[in-house]
Chain A
Amino acid sequence: MNVCVTALGPMENSEVDPRFGRCAYFVFFNLHTRAVEAVKNPNVEASGGAGIQSAQLVASRAAIVVTGHLGPNAFKTLNAAGISMFSGATGTVKEAVAAYEAGKLARATAPDSASKSGIAS
């Protein structure tokens, strides 16, 4: 089962990127094999709809999203796809996954970020 962590770089020890729609990388972490695979986010410069497209990209590959904040469009899309969302993650990708597994992250039940917040943060 895959967890997707939004990150500033493509590695396990890369820092978590607090944004979702316009994060730099999506790092997919397989909870069973512990394998890591990163995808560079193609939606970084989208003027609108980044959250939706990023959510669709992630929904096909992971059942769980771990990030800092979620904007309204991303939240709506991930929610419809049945993806579990956890927000408030910090540290490295590895640390964020450990926090998720230890039950230390809050489940996101609503969007907590304004639309377009992630542009050039």
Chain B
Amino acid sequence: MKQIVVLSGKGGTGKTVMTGALAALVDNKVMVDCDVDAADLHLLLTPKVVERHEFKSGKKARIDERACVRCGRCLEVCRFGAVTKKLFIDMSSCEGCGLCARVCPAAAITMEENLCGEWFVSETRFGTMVHARLGIGEENSGKLVAQIRQKAKEIAKEAFRDWVIIDGPPGIGCPVMASLSGVDAVLLVTEPSCSGLHDAGRVIDLGKHFKVPVQLVVNKWDINPAVTEQIEKYCTENGVAVAGRLPFDRAVVNAVIQGRTIMEGESLGLKAEIIKIWAHLKGAIS
């Protein structure tokens, strides 16, 4: 059983479109959408939820107004600006450190487990998908990502699936690290722009740090062939193989609008290129 994560550094380069295409193309796998902040893979895979779980992490402070003696000690000690002048807790600023609860002379503050999201196991036309939704303003620590990755791995083992395919989050922070650790390969999907190159470099550094091989796909490559070559050259110089290139094609948007993956869309050229990219990726892993 092998695991692949699709990353980009910069958002909007085509991770989810690529993951959707692999979902359609690859046999015998489990999908995981690890972009728990703004999950989109379900728009292509139309999952039917089979299991729903609450996700709790960290704590939030709560002031019992009847017990509160309005001394303001909590406001004095809070370093996150989470206690308002009127001595209420601003939930979106509270980081759950618990200091206010410990200093309150009236024991009027309790720390409560924070329900910050949910995660799901679903069935799609391409197999099982594990996904999640993180609540608004919550800390994206990577813990929810780790949770759904663990579940996906368990499902893959029990059902003898060959692949776990992970739609990764943007950026390079903790959620990205949680989606990338222990995988067999990273598929880096980027676009031919300054931002794309800049942020791809940071993903490559992360791959080196975690000792995971990285393969590159430049999406919409013909928007700027010169920058495409620059990115491919940078990658080759840094031990990253070029798995393929996808041209800009309205067929992609059309497929997304219809809730379909590229492999179910109208462009034969794109389909052929995705097949080549997958062959390259598979070859590199084995």
Rounded to whole angstroms, the CA-CA distance of A118 and B147 in the bound complex is 13
Rounded to whole angstroms, the CA-CA distance of A48 and B150 in the bound complex is 15
Nearest A residue (CB) for B148: A120
One of B174-182, B193-201, B258-266 at the interface: B174-182
Number of A-B contacts (CB under 8 A): 47
Q: What residues of chain A lie closer than 8 Å to B210, measured between beta carbons?
A: 114, 117
Q: What residues of chain B lie closer than 8 Å to A121, measured between beta carbons?
A: 181-182
Main secondary structure of the interface of A (DSSP, over half): loop
Contact B209 A45 (CB under 8 A): no
Instruction: Report the interface size class on chain B.
Output: 10 to 19
Contact residue among A46, A48, A120 (Cβ-Cβ distance under 8 Å from B149):
A120
- Give how many A residues have a beta carbon under 8 Å from the other chain's beta carbons: 12
Contact B141 A45 (CB under 8 A): no
Q: Is B143 an interface residue (CB 8 A)?
A: yes
Q: Mark A59-84, 1 if CB is under 8 A from B, else 0.
A: 00000000000000000000000000
Q: Is B142 an interface residue (CB 8 A)?
A: yes
Q: Is B282 an interface residue (CB 8 A)?
A: no
Q: Is B245 an interface residue (CB 8 A)?
A: no
Question: A residues bordering B, Cβ < 8 Å?
Answer: 44-48, 114, 116-121
Question: B residues bordering A, Cβ < 8 Å?
Answer: 3, 57, 141-143, 146-147, 149-150, 152-153, 174, 177-178, 181-182, 209-211
